[in-house]
Structure formats: structure tokens, C-alpha cells
Structure 1
Amino acid sequence: MDRDALAEFLRRRREAMRPADVGLPTGPRPRRTAGLRREEVAQLTGMSVDYYGRLEQSRSTQPSPQMVRALARALRLTDDETDHLYRLAGHAVPDRDATSMHVRPALMFVLDQMRDAAAFICSDTYQVLAQNDLAKRLMGHRTSVTGALEESIAWQWFTDPDSRSNVPADDHAEHSQVTVADLRATWARRRNDSDVCHLIEALLAHSAEFAQLWARHEVAVRRMQRKTFVTKVGPITLDCEVLATYDGQNLVVLTPPAGSSALDDLHLLRVVGDQAVDSH
């Protein structure tokens, strides 16, 4: 690990970013210094401000590969910059394949610009790679950190009853059917890839519901559906559409149906969430 080079690289990349680049408000007054603040990078990565500060001061312990990945996402690093960050942190550069956990900066930029829609990026094995604020309010913080089987929301759906709490009970059967049909399409494309095989084999072994649906051999790539979420402000029904697919990653956007009150409900959900944060 090269602490000094790592500190300088993080500082330079932070200073090169603008709040708007990562979906943060700029505020009414101009900033005294360029770039993001340390606390903003810490917020985006989910690490403490103190630890991130020590990284930039060459005083930290070695960051884990999961932390390095989170930093790469927060700072919108390119593939080459991400590889460089891994090396500076003293880690081997991970293999980059169709199921890479690295989200390209352009796709992150599109995600960050969405204000009145919930949106997230996930892999074709249902690993959530990034979420905007409204998606976190609707779904909870579901971003995958390690890429482990247990972090797949498909695995959670079929093995953990609590994961279904934000979906109305009447919608469970349809949600299960759509998920299995979409995973069947993923399996058809990548049936020899270890991550797909591991997920399907584990689900077949641990979920009778999944096994029953899998035996139907239904295939349907998820593109458009209407979904209802159980939230703090009541049920919110949204149109769910996959707008972009790249390298096995999907940009999923949840938008208010025309003529509905869903947009007002989303605004209320954001206000309620902000009040909850302010009260702590």
C-alpha cells in the first residue's frame, strides 16, 4: 500500500468533482474551494468522515477491497483509474467481466441527474450496484458491497421473508414469476458463468417456490412493469422500466404513472425521510 500516493490521488480526484456530478445540490453560495467536501465523499461511500480524512492524510489503515470499490463509484472513476486505485491501496486488480461490480461514470452520471424518479443500477443477477436517494427511500439501502450471493435481491426475495415487506402481499406471486423468468433469460445468455450457476443452484436448493417456477421454463427479460411499494407514507405505485443495458448491468427507473398522485407521494416520502434524519 502506498499511503502517500493514495492520499494524493483521492484528494486530486475529489477536488476535480463538482457536487452536480454526483447529484448533490450546490447551495446558494459559491464554495470557497473546488470540488467535493470530504464529508460528501464519506457520505457517498458510506464510510465515516474520520476514516476518509485519514485516507487523505496518509494516516489510515489499508482500505478493504469493498471500500476501494465504494470510493471508485463515489469519485466516478474510469476503469483505468479504478485499477490504479486498487494498486495504490495494495490490492490486486479484480477481473473485469460481464458481471463487473464497477459502474461506468456515464451511467452513474445519468443516475445522479434523476430527481423526481427513483432509479438504481443492478446486474443481471440482481446485485444492486448503485441507487439514487429516492430508490433508497423506496427500497432501503440495498447496494451490494462484496458481490456475495446473499447480497442479490433475487436471493433475498426467495430466502428471506422480511425482504418482501415493502411489496404488497397480493403482488408477491407476480413478482416471483417475473424475477424467475428474467433470471432464466440471464441463465440462457451466461449459463457457463460461475456467478449465474452459483445463484441458480443455490436458489433451487433453498427455495421450493423458486424451483417450482424454474421448472416452468418461462423466459421473459424484464423491461416494463408496474410495481407498488409499501412505504412510510402509504403504498406508492410506479412504472418500472429498464432504460439501459450495458455489460450485464441495467439502469432501472421507477416513474410516476401519468395522471396519478405518485409524484406527490414521492416528494412526501423524501420530506418524511429528511425529517427522520434531522431528528437524530
Structure 2
Amino acid sequence: MLTALTQALRLETHERDQVFRLAGSAPPLAGRVEMSIRASVLRLLQRLADLPTLVLSAKSDVLAHTPMAGALLSDLNRWPERQRNIIWQRFLGTGRAHVALSPEEDEATAQQAVGSLRTALSRYPHDPSLRSLIDQLLAGSGRFRSMWEEGRSTVRRTMHKTIDHPEFGPLVLDCDTLLLPDTDQSMIVYSAAAGTREASALAMLRDQLHRTDGREPLVR
């Protein structure tokens, strides 16, 4: 609850820690996955409100997203809080219902997902929420377990992703990953080249959102 409150108030790390202490609780421990978002990152997210953009933790929790991301990846708005993790959704949930990848792309992005968790575990070996996530995936997904046991390590790369949107059909979008190294978080941005059908579809999504006045980033 305190984490959600400090995120909503957009506090810097030292301000967040003071709130925890005033409430009689210990601040988040060093060596744990950072789940708070810096105020400066939220300001950047606001500037990117015209694009589908997500902020992910080191273990791929969706910490914040623009309304455009919710409009493009409609499942985001329906995920229960404890399942707001793109890797959990990929292997155990319905979070890939609108992502239509070729078999080669599917294999590559699955390996990236597993490799990113392996990297996170090497950095945060004592984080209980990370170990719980990995245990759930090992127990619930044979594909994840097989990939995990292979022991490969990889990183997210810029790529194209095909989103099968219920209104606009398949949209082939650029998917760029911007790293936030001091918090070990990442920002995922979807975009399209000007003049393409995909750019027109994103423009129509923006118009729909502007009519409902939904421009503020949504914070977990």
C-alpha cells in the first residue's frame, strides 16, 4: 500500500523512504527489484503519451503505462495486480492474446523473456518476489521450464511486433526498449513510420483517447 501511495505521489527515492519510516515501516531493501518509478521517468512518460509506452521493472512487472498502451494492448487493463507481469502473462496468462508473432519471432522473444529473468536473478538473488515469480513459471509452464533449464542468457532487442488489434487488425509496429540503468527498469515504446497504415491506426487510437480525456499515464 505504501509503495502504491508513493508512486501515486511521484516521490523521489529519498522522499519515498521517508514516508515508509514515518509510517513505521522499513523502506525497500537494497538488493531487491526496484518497484518505484522516479518522478522524472513519469514526466518522460507523460511526454510520450501519444505513443503506446510501458515502464517495466527488472523482472518485467508493468509499473506504469500510457493510455495508448492500454488501447493497443487491451489486456493490460484487465490484468489483476498480482499478474501485471508480461512474462507471467506470456507463459501462464492471456497477455499475448493480441500479439501475433511468426514462429521464429515467438521463439526469439520467448528466449529474451526467459533470459531477462535469468539476468534479474543474477542481480537480485535474494529478492523473494522474483524467486516466487520464477517458481510459478517453472511449476506452471513446461515451455518456460525447458527454456530455463537450457541456461541461455539474452537481452531485449529492438524488433518489430505484430499486434492483432480487435478494431484495426494486424499492426506491424517498431518496438524499442529504452534502458533506465540506475533503477534497472526499462521503457518499451511502440511506434510506426509516418504514412503507414499502422501510423494511421495509432492516430485514430489517439483521437479516441483524446475524446475521453485519457492522457495521464496509468500507474500500478
Q: Deviations over 1:216-256 (max 9, x none)?
A: 32211113121121223222222212212232211222222
Report the CA distance between 1:192 and its aligned residue: 4.3
Measure the CA separation in 2 of the matches of 1:223 and 1:191.
24
Q: SS at the partner of 1:241?
A: strand
Matched with 2:199 is 263
Matched with 2:140 is 206
In the TM superposition, what are the counterparts of 1:173-252 in structure 2 within 5 Å?
173-231=107-165, 232-246=167-181, 247-252=183-188
Identity %: 28
Report the CA distance between 1:185 and its aligned residue: 2.5
2:21 and 2:27 in contact (8 A); partners too: no
Q: Which of 17, 28, 42 is the matching residue for 1:108?
A: 42
Measure the CA separation in 1 of the matches of 2:85 and 2:45.
20
Measure the CA separation in 2 of the matches of 1:91 and 1:137.
39
2:161 and 2:173 in contact (8 A); partners too: yes
Matched with 2:58 is 124
1:117 and 1:134 in contact (8 A); partners too: yes
Aligned: 1:92 with 2:28:
no
> Given the two structures, how large is their TM-score scaled by the length of structure 2?
0.79
Q: SS at the partner of 1:164?
A: coil
Measure the CA separation in 1 of the matches of 2:197 and 2:96.
24
Q: Deviations over 1:64-118 (max 9, x none)?
A: x1xx433433332222333444466x46244143412110111111111114322
Measure the CA separation in 1 of the matches of 2:35 and 2:132.
17
1:123 and 1:249 in contact (8 A); partners too: yes
Cα 1:209–1:112 shift into 2, 3 Å: same
Cα 1:194–1:75 shift into 2, 3 Å: closer
Count of residues in Structure 1 that have an aligned counterpart in Structure 2: 208
2:33 and 2:127 in contact (8 A); partners too: no
Q: Which of 234, 253, 258 is the matching residue for 2:189?
A: 253
In the TM superposition, what are the counterparts of 1:44-123 in structure 2 within 5 Å?
65=1, 68-86=2-20, 90=23, 92-97=25-30, 98-123=32-57
Report the CA distance between 1:131 and its aligned residue: 0.6
Greater C-alpha Rg: 1
Q: Deviations over 1:171-230 (max 9, x none)?
A: 544432321122222233334433332222221111001112223322111131211212
Measure the CA separation in 2 of the matches of 1:95 and 1:223.
30
Measure the CA separation in 2 of the matches of 1:268 and 1:138.
11
1:233 and 1:268 in contact (8 A); partners too: no
Higher relative contact order (CA 8 A, sep 6+): 2
2:173 and 2:192 in contact (8 A); partners too: yes
Q: Which runs of 5+ in 1 are unaligned?
A: 1-64
1:134 and 1:270 in contact (8 A); partners too: yes
Between stretches 238-247 and 206-215, larger displacement belongs to 238-247
Measure the CA separation in 2 of the matches of 1:143 and 1:86.
29
Q: SS at the partner of 1:237?
A: strand
2:101 and 2:161 in contact (8 A); partners too: no
